[in-house]
Amino acid sequence: MRRRPKHLPAEERRAATVEAVIDLAGEKNPSDITTSDIAKRMGLTQGALFRHFPTKDSILQAVLSWVTERLLSRVDRAAEGMQSPIAALEAMFMTHIDFVSEQPGVPRMLFGELQRAGETLPKRIVQTMTHHYAERLHRLLRAGVAQGELDATLDVDTAAVLFIGSIQGLVMQSLLAGDVSHIRRDAPGVFSIYRRGIEARHEL
Amino acid sequence: MRRRPKHLPAEERRAATVEAVIDLAGEKNPSDITTSDIAKRMGLTQGALFRHFPTKDSILQAVLSWVTERLLSRVDRAAEGMQSPIAALEAMFMTHIDFVSEQPGVPRMLFGELQRAGETLPKRIVQTMTHHYAERLHRLLRAGVAQGELDATLDVDTAAVLFIGSIQGLVMQSLLAGDVSHIRRDAPGVFSIYRRGIEARHEL
DNA sequence: TAAGATAGTAATTGATTACTTACTTTAGGG
DNA sequence: CCCTAAAGTAAGTAATCAATTACTATCTTA
C-alpha cells in the first residue's frame, strides 16, 4: 500500500486533483461533484483545493484539458501504424472504447459539459476537441473513399456523426446496465455493422 | 395572446409544470434547473409548486413519465402502418428524431437521469422505457431477418444498440453546433448508413 | 350569496455550496 | 540546523437551494 504524503508540490497536487475528479465522475453525475467530494477523495480539506485552483470551474477546465489531450493523442497513436483507412478507423474506435472503459467518467464529463447553457470555457475545450476528432475522421473517410475501400457515394460528414454516435450509444448502454464491462464486449459488433454501412460492397 | 389565469385546477397545474420543465431543459443543463426557475417560467411563486408536488424529485418523476409515454406511443404509432420491418424501423427513427427536434430538452433529461448514481425512481422510469423501446426494436429486427430483408447473420442486440446510438450521436451533434435544426437535416443520411449496415445485400 | 375547499403569496428555515481567512505544519536550501 | 516559502488546516461567510409556514385570494356549490 502506497501511503499518501500530506504535502505535495503544486503541480503534482493539481494532477492528483484531475485524477480524483475523473474518478468521481465514474461514480456519480458530474454536476453533483462538489469540491468537498474532491477533497475527501484526495484526503485533503476542502479549502486546500483553492491553494491550487482559483475556482471550481478552473478545476473542471484542467480536467477537460487533460482528458481531451490524452484521448486525442491515444487515438492518434492507434491510427498511425495502420495501412488501410478502414483498419485505422477500427483502431480509433477500439482505442476510444478502451479509453472509455478505463475511465468511465470521461464521456460523462464531456457530454455533461456540452449540455451547459451559454459559452463557458470548459465547453469550448470540448468543442475544440471534437472538432479535431472529426477532422481525423474526415481525413480517414475521404482516404477510404479515394482508394475504393469505402462506398463511393458516402457522405463523410454523416459517417463521422455516426462514428461518434456509435460510441455514444455504447456509453448509454453501459449507463443503462450500470456495468461498464459490457461496452468492451459489444464494441466489435457495433463497429462491424458500422463498417458494413460505409464500406464498398465486395464483388460476389 | 392567451392570458394566463392565476388559479388553475391541480391537474392542469401539474401538466403546465411538466411542460415548463421540458421547456427549460431545452435551454440549460437539466441538473441546473431549480424550483425557482420552474416557478418563474410559469409565472408562479416558488412555494406554490409544493402544493402540487411533495418534492422536486416528484416533479422530475412526472416529467419523465409523461415523456416516456409520449415518446413510446408516438414511435409505436409511426411503426404500425408499415408493411416491411425496414420501413417500420425507418419510421421509428424519423419519428423519434421529430420528437427530439420539437422537444430538445427530452434527450437531455433522459441522458442526465441515467447519469445519476444509485437507483432513483426517475432513473428506473427511464430504464423501463428504454427496455420497452429495445423490445420493439428487437421484434422488428428479428422479423426483418426472418423474411430475408436484413442480413441473416445480424446480431439484433448489437443492431438495437447502434439504432439508439445513431440518434444519440445526432443529439450530441446538435449540442455541439448549438442548433437543433441540424438534427433533422442529417437524420436521413445517418439512417441510410445504418440501414446499409444491417440489410441483406441485394443481388448485383 | 355565504362557506368551505382549493390554489396562490410572501417570508422564512435549515442544509449545502463555493470560496475566504487566520493560523499551523512541512519540506528543503544556505 | 534553522528559517522561509509552500502546502495544509479549521472555522467561517455569503449565496443559493428545496421545503415549510402563516396567511390571502379565488373558485365552487349548497
Q: State the alpha helices, DSSP H only, in chain B.
A: 10-25, 35-42, 56-80, 85-102, 105-115, 121-146, 156-177, 181-198
Using DSSP's 3-state secondary structure scheme, residue A63 falls into helix
- Which amino acid, A72? L
Alpha-carbon torsion, ordered A28, A34, A37, A41, to 10 deg: 90
pTM of the model: 0.94
Task: Give pLDDT, residue A6.
Answer: 80
Closest residue to D17 measured CA to C1′: B34
The DSSP element (H or E) to which A177 belongs, if any, is helix A156-177
Confidence of residue B204 (pLDDT cuts 50, 70, 90): low
In this prediction, residues B136-145 reach a mean pLDDT of 98
Give the chain B residue whose CA is nearest to the CA of A113.
B29
Flag whether pLDDT at B2 surpasses 70: no
Burial of B123-142, coded b for 16+ CB within 10 Å and e otherwise, reads bebbbebbeebbebbeebbe
Question: What's the average model confidence in pLDDT over B48-54?
Answer: 98
The pLDDT of B123-138, averaged and rounded, is 96
Best mutation site among A172, A179, A183 for testing chain B: the one with the most B CBs within 10 Å?
A172
Do the beta carbons of residue A85 and residue A140 sit within 8 Å? yes
Nucleotide closest in space to A33 (CA vs C1'): C17
The length of chain A is 204
pLDDT given at position A17: 98
Grid coordinates 408562479 are at which residue? B44
Helix, strand, coil percentages for chain A (3-state, nearest 5)? 75, 0, 25
| Residue of chain A with shortest Cα separation from B108 | A115
CB contact under 8 A, A190 and B115: no
Confidence of residue B203 (pLDDT cuts 50, 70, 90): low
Question: Rounded to an integer, what distance in angstroms lies between the CA atom of residue A101 and that of residue A184?
Answer: 7
Percent of chain B scoring above 70 in pLDDT: 97
Residue B85's alpha-carbon distances to A49, A141, A161, in angstroms, are 56, 30, 24
For strand C, the positions having any atom within 7 A of a protein Cβ are 6-12, 16-22, 25-27
Residues forming beta bridges with residue B199, ordered by sequence position:
B150
Tell me the C-alpha distance between B49 and B56, whole Å: 9
Which three three-digit cell numbers place residue B150? 436484413
At residue B5, does pLDDT exceed 80? no
- What pLDDT sits at residue B1? 43
Q: How far is CA A6 from CA A14, A43, A44, B143, B171, in A?
A: 14, 8, 8, 62, 44
CA A124 from centre of chain: 15
- The whole-number Å distance from A21's CA to C30's C1' is 39
Torsion angle, alpha carbons of A119, A121, A126, A131, to 10: 70
Handedness of CA B167, B160, B94, B59 (dihedral sign): negative
Contact B106, B75 (CB under 8 A): no
Whether A8 and A16 have beta carbons less than 8 Å apart is answered as: yes
Average pLDDT estimate for B20-24: 98
Name beta bridge partners: A140.
none
Residues of chain A with pLDDT > 70, as a percent, come to 98
Q: What are phi and psi of A199, to 5 degrees?
A: -80, 155
Q: Which of B34, B57, B108, B115 to mutate to test the interface with A (most CBs of A within 10 A)?
A: B115
Instruction: Tell if the CB–CB gap between B198 and A196 is shorter than 8 Å.
Output: yes
Nearest to B62 by CA among B8, B102, B113, B130: B113
Q: Which residues of chain A have pLDDT under 50?
A: 1-2
Amino acid at B176: L
Which pLDDT score is estimated for A202? Answer: 74
For residues B127-143, average pLDDT:
97
CB B68 within 8 A of CB A70: no
Distance CA B22, CA B107 (A): 10
Record the cell numbers describing residue A194, joined without a space: 458500422
Q: How many CB atoms lie within 10 A of CB A55?
A: 10
Residues of A in contact with B196 (CB under 8 A): 151, 196-198
Contacts of residue B105, Cβ cutoff 8 Å, sequence gap at least 6: B21, B22, B23, B24, B25, B26, B27, B30
Distances in Å between the Cα of A38 and the Cα atoms of A65, A66, A155 are 18, 17, 44
Which cell goes with B195?
Answer: 440501414
B50 nearest nucleotide via C1' and CA: D19
pLDDT at site A2: 46
> Which of B127, B155, B161 shows the shortest C-beta gap to A169?
B161
Q: Do B175 and A203 touch (CB under 8 A)?
A: no
Chain A nearest-CA distance from B186, in A, is 7
CB A161 within 8 A of CB A167: no
